[in-house]
Structure 1
Amino acid sequence: MVPLNEEEQLASAWRALSGEAGSVGWKVIDLFSANGCKVMAGRKGTGNEESLLVGISGATVPVESQLPRGQGFIFIHTELPGDASKRTWFALVRQQGGQLPLFSLMAADLVSLLARLGGDGGEGILSALMTRIHAWQNFMKHNRPDLLSAEEEIGLVGELFVLGNLISDGMLAADAIQSWVGPTDGLHDFRIGPGGIEVKSTTAPKGFVAKIGNLDQLDNSLYQPLYVGSVRLGQSNNGSTLPDLVDLLKEKIHDEAAIALLSSRLVAAGYIDSMRNNYVRRFVNRELAYRLVEDDSPRLTRANVPSAIYDAKYTMDLDVIPVVAITFSEISSNLGVNAAWS
């Protein structure tokens, strides 16, 4: 018999518990237990909504305002009567009106995360768990479909090529992933030291026309130095799919916490790993270059548009911003990496 995946395990457990509506307290089915945590599917009380219970050894309960909620779910501290393990218990609970398919995807992803980190310390497990839940919250906030659009896929592929360049050029994987703030609504895709890198990708064989999302995106008065990482992609049968690139990056990282953070950033960016088979286009990196935004670079900023203009999106030819480097190592010291991460 083929073993059930995480989503199927949860669906089976919730079905088995669904007949106990109206009963008092938690009704649970064990999913797995590790040194650092125990994970169960559950339902509780008259609401009987699907829930995921996580007991974490040695974890301190955050203040209630720090616990994520909304977007069809709540994450709460709870008690599990009869548990003698002294674990700290939390529950992810689907709220009425919350979409069950999306909640199931989220819960299954958390089960997979906890299975990887189950042997870690309690505070690390809780931190990774909350980071992942916040990533899902960000995903839901933007009302994303389960799949990235073709344009979003190209954009994410470009960002992953830049992230890979940061790591291959000597930046610690955990620090490189932490600097990737675009998926969490950062102003730029990468925030490094005093500056940043904004990534733009194209599949055009010639020229480099890029969409600029707002008046601050190329404003180097906010962060200096500010680089544009321009990635020219090609499509080839010998290339890598988006899931391939994710897997290759994870293979380079030997830190489970960093891998967990990468997965959280990917969720926030709109990439759901269980949908990986839908991404079939294969890309190759034809060209990666770094362009320095300077005071006289042509672009729109708040300083050079009329004060009545509050925001703007526009398209520009990136070739007007000269290439200053083709590898991150050439600009890393300008961003303080040698001092901060070496």
Structure 2
Amino acid sequence: MNLSQIWKALEQDVTEVHDFGLAKRRILPKSRLDFFLGILTPDGTKLFEFEAGLPFPSVEIELTRGFVTIIEDTKITLKLTHESYLDFFTSLIDDISSYTNQATSKEQAMHMFLSRLQQWQLFLRRCSPNGLGEEAQRGLFGELYFIRSYLPLEKIEAWQGPRLLPHDFQLPGFAVEVKAVSTKLHQKLKINSEKQLDDRAAGTLYIYHLSIQPGKSAGESLTDLIDALRDRFTGHALQSQFEELLFLSGYSDNHRAHYEKIKYTIRNESVYLVREGFPRITELDLLQGIGDVSYTIATASCTPFAVPISDLKLRFSEDSSWKA
């Protein structure tokens, strides 16, 4: 019986409960670990329980769209708060329980459960029940295009964008910020924080500007690009790491049909070197108490800072540990 069938069975169970209570059923019946789906009556709230058998460590619980997390001694409960998230919630339960079920001890199971839950929380920061919006799709396409074009597969851990770090790619001695801009829009680079173009910790900082034309027929969709990269990672030791980063980016195969509607044609690639005089705002420019700054830069003002793409390629070959 799959999880969707268990939900239906529980819905039938609660019709027979006429008081306050909880109808629940164990999932993964062959597992040594105790996972349950449940429905509270009379409000019909759906939940997922993991009874670890040991007290959970004290951890900070992040507020998450779609569900709340409650830890009570040896039990952790995830309660669905919006029915629009039910498909995601079910996928989350399937993924976390299957992942945690690989544990060889109760203590390891607790840590694996919490670790996987944190990854889902990052995922849901980026993604709505309907998938990534057009801007987020375009941004992910740009980062993946950069990976396919320039990043050696064995250095996929340099992709830091999915982990919500300041720069999309952090390499030894330099970093790259990727900006994919639609040619339907006035050519501006959107900067999301005062840290994004701060090169003090990054070393040399480059902006990779990808100008793309969205359409419905010509070009390559986000899913086309993902499939191409998956083919390259098939059998590679870092295949699972690529999939994890893709997941943290907010991508789910559940939305493939949605992402296949838009195709992108590459119009131009540019690389800018962020150095003295580059139009930007950093923490050093802000008065005390000001933060979370976002702004745009006209690409025309970046032209004096353009460098050949070959300069960026050279940086990959300067350190032997970064050669493909």
Give the TM-score normalised by structure 1.
0.69
State the alpha-carbon separation in 2 of the partners of residues 156 and 78 from structure 1. 39
Aligned partner of 1:265 in structure 2 is 248
**CA deviation vs aligned residue, 1:153-189 (integer Å, no higher than 9, x gap):** 212211221233455x24334x24xx32x34432222
State the alpha-carbon separation in 2 of the partners of residues 29 and 215 from structure 1. 48
Q: Return closer, same or farther for 1:41/1:185 CA change in 2, 3 Å cut-off.
A: same
- Structure 1, unaligned runs of 5 or more: 80-89
Aligned partner of 1:319 in structure 2 is 303
Correspondent of 1:50 among 19, 31, 46: 46
Question: Do 1:158 and 1:201's aligned partners in 2 also have CA atoms closer than 8 Å?
Answer: yes
Q: Which amino acid counterpart does residue 210 of structure 2 have in structure 1? A: V
Aligned partner of 2:178 in structure 1 is 199
Aligned partner of 2:224 in structure 1 is 244
Question: Do 1:207 and 1:319's aligned partners in 2 also have CA atoms closer than 8 Å?
Answer: no
Question: RCO (CA 8 Å, sep 6+): is it higher in 1 or 2?
Answer: 1
How far apart are 1:61 and its partner, in Å? 6.8
Aligned partner of 1:294 in structure 2 is 275
Written as runs of structure 1 = structure 2, the 5 A alignment for 1:148-167 is: 148-165=132-149, 167=151
How far apart are 1:53 and its partner, in Å? 4.3
State the alpha-carbon separation in 2 of the partners of residues 111 and 145 from structure 1. 17
**CA deviation vs aligned residue, 1:89-132 (integer Å, no higher than 9, x gap):** x644216xx11331541331441465578657678876665444
**CA deviation vs aligned residue, 1:180-225 (integer Å, no higher than 9, x gap):** 2x34432222233454221101232999531223333222224212
Q: Return closer, same or farther for 1:291/1:110 CA change in 2, 3 Å cut-off.
A: farther
Question: Do 2:122 and 2:248's aligned partners in 1 also have CA atoms closer than 8 Å?
Answer: no
Aligned partner of 2:91 in structure 1 is 108
State the alpha-carbon separation in 2 of the partners of residues 290 and 127 from structure 1. 42
**CA deviation vs aligned residue, 1:295-324 (integer Å, no higher than 9, x gap):** 233333344577897645132214332134
Question: Do 1:289 and 1:325's aligned partners in 2 also have CA atoms closer than 8 Å?
Answer: yes
Match of 2:180, SS state, is strand
How far apart are 1:135 and its partner, in Å? 3.9
How far apart are 1:281 and its partner, in Å? 0.7
Question: Do 2:212 and 2:265's aligned partners in 1 also have CA atoms closer than 8 Å?
Answer: yes
How far apart are 1:28 and its partner, in Å? 1.2
State the alpha-carbon separation in 2 of the partners of residues 264 and 78 from structure 1. 30
Q: Is 1:220 aligned to residue 199 of structure 2? A: yes
Q: Return closer, same or farther for 1:17/1:288 CA change in 2, 3 Å cut-off.
A: farther
Question: Do 1:234 and 1:286's aligned partners in 2 also have CA atoms closer than 8 Å?
Answer: yes
Question: Do 2:22 and 2:38's aligned partners in 1 also have CA atoms closer than 8 Å?
Answer: no
**CA deviation vs aligned residue, 1:33-69 (integer Å, no higher than 9, x gap):** 57x977553347988742234588xx99751315656
Q: Is 1:28 aligned to residue 22 of structure 2? A: no
Aligned partner of 1:15 in structure 2 is 11
State the alpha-carbon separation in 2 of the partners of residues 325 and 189 from structure 1. 17
Question: Do 2:206 and 2:272's aligned partners in 1 also have CA atoms closer than 8 Å?
Answer: yes
- Structure 2, unaligned runs of 5 or more: none
State the alpha-carbon separation in 1 of the partners of residues 203 and 246 from structure 2. 28
Correspondent of 2:69 among 71, 74, 77: 74
Q: Which amino acid counterpart does residue 282 of structure 1 have in structure 2? A: K
Question: Do 1:73 and 1:94's aligned partners in 2 also have CA atoms closer than 8 Å?
Answer: yes
Aligned partner of 1:93 in structure 2 is 78
Question: Do 1:13 and 1:29's aligned partners in 2 also have CA atoms closer than 8 Å?
Answer: no
State the alpha-carbon separation in 1 of the partners of residues 101 and 219 from structure 2. 35
Match of 1:171, SS state, is helix
Match of 1:249, SS state, is helix
Q: Return closer, same or farther for 1:329/1:170 CA change in 2, 3 Å cut-off.
A: farther
**CA deviation vs aligned residue, 1:277-298 (integer Å, no higher than 9, x gap):** 1221112444445432122333
Q: Return closer, same or farther for 1:115/1:287 CA change in 2, 3 Å cut-off.
A: farther
**CA deviation vs aligned residue, 1:251-283 (integer Å, no higher than 9, x gap):** 33345641551243122xxx4432221221112
Q: Is 1:229 aligned to residue 208 of structure 2? A: yes
Aligned length: 313
